[in-house]
Amino acid sequence: MAQFFNEPSRTFSEYLLVPGYTGPDCIPANVDLSTPLVKFRKGEEPELKLNIPMTSAIMQSVSGERLAVALAQEGGISFIFGSQTAENEAAMVARVKATKAGFVPSDSNVRPDQTLADIVFLKEKTGHSTVAVTEDGTAAGKLLGIVTSRDYRVSRMDPATPVSTFMTPVDKLICAKEGVSLAEANDILWDNKLNQLPVLAEDGRLLYFVFRKDYDAHKSNPMELLDSKKRYIVGAGINTRDYETRVPLLVEAGVDVLCIDSSEGYTAWQQRTLDWIHQNYPGMRVGAGNVVDAEGFRFLAKAGADFIKVGIGGGSICITRETKGIGRGQATAVIEVAQARNEFFKETGEYIPICSDGGIVYDYHMALALAMGADFLMLGRYFSRFDESPTDKLLVNGTYVKEYWGEGSNRARNWQRYDLGGDKKLTFEEGVDSYVPYAGPLSDGVRQSLAKVRSTMCNVGALTIKELQDKAKLTLVSATSIVEGGAHDVILKSSVNK
Ligand code: MZP
């Protein structure tokens, strides 16, 4: 006879937090959002910690190198997507590790024979007004000049005008040499009233730009997540098929932590992958998942996972529940797995952090997921909306949007994520291709969301995530009281003015 769970599985919007006592020191400025990323023994410190409880989803439309740097600057970590060749993924990891705070690899590049139309297209796509003109049109090519918005007037010039005729050539530019420090680069920017400073290798190849507008940002990233050599911390997704070739390349590239990316983690393949990594790379930390109950958690805990991801079918682009009838409401899954994590800790003295993956819609869901026992969160839709995600920004029906697609969609075709040992192909879709509203720079969005989380924590009377978990009082809400929670029985001015 099948096993039945007595209660329906529930999701975040069905819960609220009831305030606890807030003491005079319990103010947002005193809240510490640091949290363990990997397992540790009782009384010891985890080898890797996050400064904020946020990780970005292992997805093509989310976790590229630019987002990885932006998130590490805020104190979280990206897991670079694994649904690309191992070589490309390792190259992305290497570029994140090579990025020095304040030194930005150029993301808008053209060849000199390209045209004004190409410049306008790039500016629309990236939102950046500085374009590097390199011999081969790559970010690391020999620098021939730069184009900024001061160099052209779209209304007066033919879109076919070659870039070489209106760029500012390199001999008229002030550049710095490889090895310049950030402080020196900033002095050059200020002394010469420049907006950007190209940093060049001995042979004239472009290495980075240092931007004047970033000056304040470098000073104001107190939460940056850096390794012992002051490089950004970055993770990478792997699968249960090609780990023997992929993991060595990622390790070589300097990856800090791995995560097996799978829609369902309670499998023999995850065990095999973990075993192989532990045997061949004993120091390498690797997370596993996803699971939605205590049984799945215990399996991966015993298999040696360093953290365990929770969530099946709750992702915004996910149709696994509709397609296969597999999954569980995200809140119930987190609550049950968190209890299992606590029991396992009591029994063994080993604390294995859990990650609530998918289904975060409102910022308050973040606080709820943490209160329910998650140590950190994985977010896809949330990060895909920002400037730094790897996808295009488009104007659709008068609104700026970014593209966001699931790993199980035809667009990503990440069959390894859904692999159950069958043919090496995606037989049916478990994800969709979509637009999400564009939301500006990551740092603004993350800081705003976390301001709300800090505020919620103070209402609960908690200054740390652990305290939030210990003190939280959660109540289920009825359908009618959800209506009460929004603006109601008033005529909203925004609707009158439409
Ligand atoms: P969300 O933050 O957009 O709600 O969910 C992101 C999560 O959805 C990812 O971290 C991953 O676990 C999951 N995901 C990614 N692709 C698919 C799919 O195509 C999916 N079904 O479910």
In tens, the pLDDT along 43-61 reads 999 999 999 999 999 999 9
| CB contact at 8 A, 235 and 55 | yes
Strand partners, 426: none
292: pLDDT strictly greater than 90: yes
Where b means 16+ CB within 10 Å and e means fewer, 46-57 reads: bebbbbbbbbbb
Tell me which H or E stretch contains 144: strand 143-147
Whether 318 is catalytic is yes
Say if residue 479 is exposed, middle or buried (CB neighbours under 10 Å; 0-12, 13-18, 19+): exposed
| Per-residue model confidence as pLDDT tens digits over 130-171 | 999 999 998 889 999 999 999 999 999 999 999 999 999 999
- Helix residue ranges per DSSP H, 112-265: 116-126, 182-191, 215-219, 243-253
CA angle 438, 442, 445 (to 5 degrees): 80
* Percent of the chain with pLDDT strictly greater than 90: 82
Q: What is the average pLDDT score of the chain?
A: 94
Residue of 433, 343, 444 lying closest to 394 (CA atoms):
433
Average pLDDT rounded to a whole number, residues 372-387? 98
Q: What is the pLDDT of residues 312-325, one digit of tens each?
A: 999 999 999 999 99
- Tell me which H or E stretch contains 209: strand 206-211
- Give 388-442 pLDDT, tens digit per residue: 999 988 999 999 999 999 999 989 888 888 877 777 788 888 899 999 999 999 9
CA 241 / ligand 1 centre spacing (Å): 20
Tokens of 381: 């839709």
Tokens 């943490």 sit at which residue?
Answer: 370
CA-proximal residue: ligand 1, atom 13 (nearest): 315
pLDDT in the model for residue 217: 61
**Phi, psi at residue 295, to the nearest 5°?**
-60, -45
In this structure, are residues 254 and 93 in contact, taking their beta carbons and an 8 Å threshold? yes
Residues in the chain: 498
Amino acid code (one letter) for 131:
V
Q: Please pick, among 355, 417, 454, 458, the residue that the annotation labels catalytic.
A: 417
pLDDT at res. 221: 81
Q: Ligand 1, closest atom to CA 313?
A: 22
Closest C-alpha residue for ligand 1 atom 17: 406
* Cα distance between residue 492 and residue 103, in whole Å: 46
Q: Return the higher-pLDDT residue of 127 and 227.
A: 227
Residue 220 reports pLDDT greater than 70: no
- Per-residue confidence at 128, pLDDT binned at 50, 70, 90? confident
Tokens of 475: 């109540």
Q: How far is the CA of 66 from the centre of ligand 1 (A)?
A: 20
Cα 85 to Cα 9, 244, 246, distances in angstroms: 37, 13, 8
Neighbours of 178 (CB within 10 A): 12
Closest atom, ligand 1, to C-alpha of 384:
3
Instruction: Indicate if ligand 1 lies below 6 Å from the C-beta of 90.
Output: no
Residues 468-480: what's their mean pLDDT?
Answer: 96
446-466 pLDDT, tens digit each: 999 999 999 999 999 999 999
**Residue 417 bears catalytic tag:** yes
For ligand 1, atom 22, the nearest C-alpha belongs to 318
Residue 327: CB within 6 Å of ligand 1? no
Residue 274 near residue 303, CB atoms below 8 Å:
yes
Task: Specify the ligand 1 atom closest to the Cα of 406.
Answer: 19
| Residue 70, CB-side half-sphere exposure with 13 Å CA sphere | 23
Question: For residue 495, what pLDDT is reported?
Answer: 76
Ligand 1 lined by 33 (C-beta under 6 Å): no
pLDDT of residue 497: 64
CA angle at residue 303 from 464 to 54, to 5 degrees? Answer: 30
- d(CA 298, CA 124) in angstroms, rounded, equals 49
Predicted local confidence at residue 392, as pLDDT: 87
Q: Which of 307, 321, 407 to mutate to test the pocket of ligand 1 (most atoms within 8 A of CB)?
A: 407
Instruction: Report the pLDDT averaged over residues 15-30.
Output: 97
Closest Cα to residue 354, out of 372, 371, 374, 336?
374
| Ligand 1, atom nearest to 57 Cα | 10
Overall average pLDDT of the 236-243 stretch: 96
